[in-house]
Amino acid sequence: MRIGINTFALSSRLGMAGSGRYIRELVHALARLDHGHELILFANRDNWDLLPASGCERVDCGRLTINRPTRLAWEHAVLPLTARRYRLDVLHSPVFVAPAWLPCASVVSILDMTWFLMPEMHTRVKGAYFRVMIPPSVRRAARVIAISHATKSDIVRMLDIPDPKVVVTHLGVNLTVFQPNRANGYEQILEERYGVRRPYVLYVGKIEPRKNPVTLIEAFDRISDKFPDHHLVLAGNRGWDYEAVYTAAAAARHREWIRFTGFVSEADLPALYAGADLFVYPSSYEGFGFPVLEAMACGAPVITSNVSSLPEVAGDAALLVNPLDVGELAAAMERILSDPTLREVLRVRGLEQARRFTWEETARRTLQVYEEAYILQHGGALS
């Protein structure tokens, strides 16, 4: 097969958001596999160096991220013609939307359903675009990839899509990067670059209400008298309605123990995770939840939410809490910070859980989806 992948959403300028991480790791893992297919990556000049240099063909489509309208026009008007010119058998659109017409089988990935479940967290124009374009992209696709069972359930329920059409393909964690020993020798770097000193409780993610950092701040404030040496570190870019989070931090009794680092480079993230006494991720909704696995791979005990995809990602390797219940979260934090034995149990379980999610397995599962899509496009039947 000749397999094309649209990689335009990959950009280092975005600080490697979840969608960019997915594209980068998937195409590198696909390029490493001995699958016998031709892999063709449609790229722009901004993401060229982030793509594999071997095991695939890279197609330079110019600098198409100058503005979003230019990129969207190319994807919907020019990409189908390019797919025909390259005689593609399958085109994978890994970020929600596929072209309205294609001369080959279409595979589209749905990373989450926040466009429909939480429209208020997106800008009006962007949200409207995805709410209009996702349903027909999914209906036209031969196969739809959901990155968790929770996301699949939302897709089937909200878009009225037949269950067999949607295939769950979990994402992975790069275990060569996220390792438990990465804190060694990094203490001075973390302090100089981000003002972080051990011991600390850590959150990594966008600073926005959906991920409930306010709940975390209030829970930390409740228990901080019992752990006066610990700081709360919140690492990540500002997101939608971030002001409410900073207001809550400013109102905390121990606001001087709360640290916002801003963006943390991917090179420094493993050390930040590995140095934490506890990682807390109380998000209300996640399509997958990269930070939970990354923290586990680095040996941090984890507390996360008991909703959406997070229980299937965390397994039995984390304490699960109601992300909106300050008291429940505070009790879980106090329990872990007070009990070295529990911390060690969660650390060991977390390392084991992280090893279950590899990008190589993601790539193998994705290849199976491409093969199914090709068969269906040519009138075949799948059992």
pLDDT tens digits for 207-266?
A: 999 999 999 999 999 999 999 999 999 999 998 889 999 999 999 999 999 999 999 998
- Better-predicted residue by pLDDT, 180 or 325: 325
Percentage of the residues of the chain whose pLDDT score is greater than 70: 95
The CATH fold of domain 2-172+359-377: Rossmann fold (3.40.50)
In whole angstroms, what is the distance from residue 353 CA to residue 316 CA? 8
Phi then psi dihedrals of residue 137, to 5 deg? -60, -40
In whole angstroms, what is the distance from residue 339 CA to residue 322 CA? 21
382 has pLDDT over 70: no
In a 13 Å sphere around the CA of 314, the CA atoms on its Cβ side amount to 30
380 has pLDDT over 80: no
Mean pLDDT of the chain: 92
Q: DSSP assignment, residue 335?
A: H
- What stretch(es) of the chain map to CATH 3.40.50.2000? 2-172+359-377, 187-354
354 has pLDDT over 80: yes
CATH code at 187-354: 3.40.50.2000
Q: DSSP assignment, residue 207?
A: B
* 279 CA to centre of own chain: 17
383 has pLDDT over 70: no
Query: Both ends of the chain: CA-CA distance in Å?
Result: 21
Residue 14 pLDDT: 46
Q: What is the pTM of this model?
A: 0.93
Q: In what order do the strands lie in the sheet containing 258-262?
A: 258-262, 231-235, 200-204, 278-281, 302-305, 319-321
Nearest to 169 by CA among 32, 369, 21: 369
Q: Average pLDDT for residues 365-374, to the nearest whole number? A: 96
Residue 56 pLDDT: 93
Q: Is the dihedral of CA 352, 151, 381, 26 positive or negative?
A: negative
Q: Is the dihedral of CA 237, 240, 241, 244 positive or negative?
A: negative
Choice among 187-201, 278-292, 324-338 with the minimum mean pLDDT: 187-201
In whole angstroms, what is the distance from residue 131 CA to residue 136 CA? 10
